[in-house]
Amino acid sequence: MTEKSLRGLFKKTYKFLPEVSSSAPGRINIIGEHTDYNQGYVLPAAINSRNYFLGSTRDDNRVFIWAENFKEEENFSLKNISYSKQKRWINYIKGIFWILKKEGFLLQGINGLLWGNIPLEAGLSSSAALEISVINCLDELFKLNLTKEKKAFLAQKAENDFVGVKCGLMDQFISAFGQKDKAMFLDCETLHFDLIPLNLEKVNLKILVYDSQVRRQLASSQYNKRRQEAELALSYLKKNGYEGFKDVNSEALEKIRKRMDGITYKRARHIISENMRVKRAVRALRDDDFLLLGDLLYLSHESLRDDYEVSCPELDVLYEAGKDFSGCLGARLTGAGFGGSGIALVKNEKVEDFKKKVLEIADKKLFHEPKIYEISVGGGANAYSVSKERKR
């Protein structure tokens, strides 16, 4: 759907035009997985798929939302914002209102409409795109004067504390700050970031997103368990004089290996080696060295599969296909894992052949037929006033 058609749908739904139109992108993470909440390095990029949220103020404290993707309406009162077990999607919106109220911002009810073309629960951060699109809309509607950084922080806090998913900051940050044809090298501890040109057209490459069709519910998955295991690994490092994972290299970890149990050691090894891979990937992008970048993608998948143990057979299909295909430079799972998506770096002229190979392997293994998308790197979130037409 176009923004124009969404405005028409809003008017059909509520009998007047929206006051604000907002949108925010999903993301791929090129490399740097499970390092964001461990105060490490990540290298995400915004994608051209987005979530759209249109809104208009009301004269009361009720919030009415029409979700076009689900053909569902939900409403709630700002006086009683409670978690919904029936409709999970509304919790991401409720969470934004909840955190803004908790921060002391004065809000009133709205009529809202949401629609997005980001594949849901596929590891492409549709949840962060929804959160950022909503908080951008409310910022514009109620003149909250929030910075991009503040919006990302509040959106993350809403997902952590209201929705119950202990995500890191990366997804909300890249959704807010992303730029077209650039990747973001982000230090999740200091929040310092550099935007790195991603010259895919120059070298005749495409990024494919492979949706395994294996759906996972992050709030009830082993994701939070991995966070707990990482915290335990960090406690071991601190007992041995290190402040954080970024302060440790592989050699230093080996010296204290015998003081850690096997699982904790493996979790630490992934985080430490992944931080190193992100820094090498940044140098590769600066040099347009996509062969090196591809090798790093494979190494990242191996570490996520073996040390962090967040892959699954359906995601391993992409890695296996890439390793055995001359037109694929690199492939790995992206996102939290336990299902969801992967990415592959493929030569333009080999894209269709690679898709065919991946589908053949999945079919032979009797997996659900995966979906494969060609994506481009898009811009970050935006919001603007549409109409001052008086609501009814």
Catalytic residue IDs:
171
DSSP 333: E
The runs of H, that is alpha helices, within the chain are: 3-14, 88-102, 126-142, 148-158, 170-177, 223-239, 250-255, 262-286, 290-306, 313-323, 351-364
* 93, 38 Cβ separation under 8 angstroms: no
Q: What angle do CA 187, 292, 294 make, to 5 degrees?
A: 85
Q: What 3-state DSSP class applies to 372?
A: strand
Q: What 3-state DSSP class applies to 387?
A: coil
Which residue's entry shows tokens 């010296």?
255
β-bridge partners, 76: 63
DSSP 119: P
Please measure the distance between the N-terminal and C-terminal CA atoms of the chain and give it in whole angstroms.
26
